[in-house]
Structure 1
Amino acid sequence: MEIRHAAPADLPDLLALFDAARRFMAQNGNPHQWGRRFPTKEMLEADISAQRSYICEDEGRLAAAFCFTTEEEPTYRVIREGAWLDDAPYGVVHRIAAAEHGRGAAAFCLEWCLARCGNIRIDTHRDNQPMQRLLARLGYTFCGLIDLKNGRGERLAYQKRSR
């Protein structure tokens, strides 16, 4: 598997991937995390433009996509019912989705991100059992709850350090 920056030409494939991911989430007891249109086309375009949108390819096929940045995440400033493992600089992974044929792609993406900065924070919806299982399998520590901006709800917050 290989990871590269997403380009504007990838947008139709990204929209199809996230549409399939929303269906998968709904079928697996998590219809509310992304609803019917998250992430939006405009959000994906902004991620691509800012060079924080990545694609994982397996033998030339789209296997997964995600947003990765090493900028501070404002919603992570306050954590409830727990604490972050440290206050060191960290990377953040958002909007990760794997294709149906992308077996192991999400884990590959998360490990790729960890290799870039050695400290990853990520959050997920309480109903996203597949993601919670993946994070546990990869050795992420549950740290507490964070609140999304604009009152959009809470998320389970996780962190993993390699150093």
Structure 2
Amino acid sequence: MFMTKYVRLATSQDRDAMMKIIDEGKQSLAADQIPQWQDGYPQASDLQKDIDAQNAWLLIVDGQVAGTATLLTHPDPNYARIYDGSWSAASDDHYTSIHRIAIASGYHGQHLADFYFSNLMTLSYQLGFKQLRIDTHAKNARMQHVIKKAGFTYRGIVYMANDATDQRNAYQITLS
């Protein structure tokens, strides 16, 4: 069966569908005993800020919101310092970063993350960025697999808001 799938900017009307996907992601992380997203973040207000800044991108499958992600086009303060590694030699502060990415539970197992990541890379390139960064919790093996499969390389460790208890594995890809 052929699926129609594409990526588009989110609007305020999409926020509830986005939050439902985020909540499913929180439940999945909790079931896997991963502390990421277990402190109330992200909230609907975080998603609304992404929408207002035109940084929220949806994965649409057969007319339904199947995924949500944020593509930041400004330097992420959490990436200013990296430990036990380094950003690539060609890196600078001109990069996009992918955050708050999740696929709706009803779409798991369909390899849609591959399509989603490819589209986010294309958007980055079209916006003039050849470098992308992403992070995930060290216990989130599923996301690490998806990130590596998309072509990202492990670069080191970053901390969220300089919190020593909120450590993440950081990844980077450079497009040519």
Q: Which residue of 2 aligns with 1:58?
A: 61
The answer to whether the 8 Å contact 2:78/2:162 transfers is no
Secondary structure at 1:29 match in 2: coil
C-alpha displacement of 1:150: 5.2
1:21 aligns with 2:21: no
2:121 counterpart of 1:114: yes
Gaps of 5+ in 2: none
Residues in 1 aligned to 2:91 and 2:39: alpha-carbon distance in whole angstroms: 35
Identify if the C-alpha distance between structure 1 residues 54 and 111 changes in structure 2 by more than 3 Å, giving closer, same or farther: same
Per the alignment, residue 8 of structure 1 pairs with 12
Deviation of 1:107 after TM superposition, in Å, equals 2.1
The list of structure 1 runs, each at least 4 consecutive aligned residues, that deviate by more than 4 angstroms after superposition, is none
Hey, what's the Cα distance between the residues in 1 that align with 2:117 and 2:21?
18
- Residue 141 of structure 2, aligned match among 129, 145, 152: 129
Partner secondary structure for residue 145 of structure 1: strand
Instruction: Report how many residues are paired.
Output: 162
2:155 is equivalent to residue 143 of structure 1: yes
- Cα-Cα RMSD: 1.5
Q: Secondary structure at the match of 1:87?
A: coil
Moved more, 125-134 or 85-94: 85-94
One-letter identity of the residue aligned with 1:74: P
Using the aligned pairs only, state the percent identity.
28
What's the offset of the Cα at 1:60?
0.5
Compute the displacement of 1:104 (Å).
Answer: 2.2
Letter of the 1:98 partner, please give it: I
Aligned partner of 1:96 in structure 2 is 101
Query: Which residue does 1:157 correspond to in 2?
Result: 170
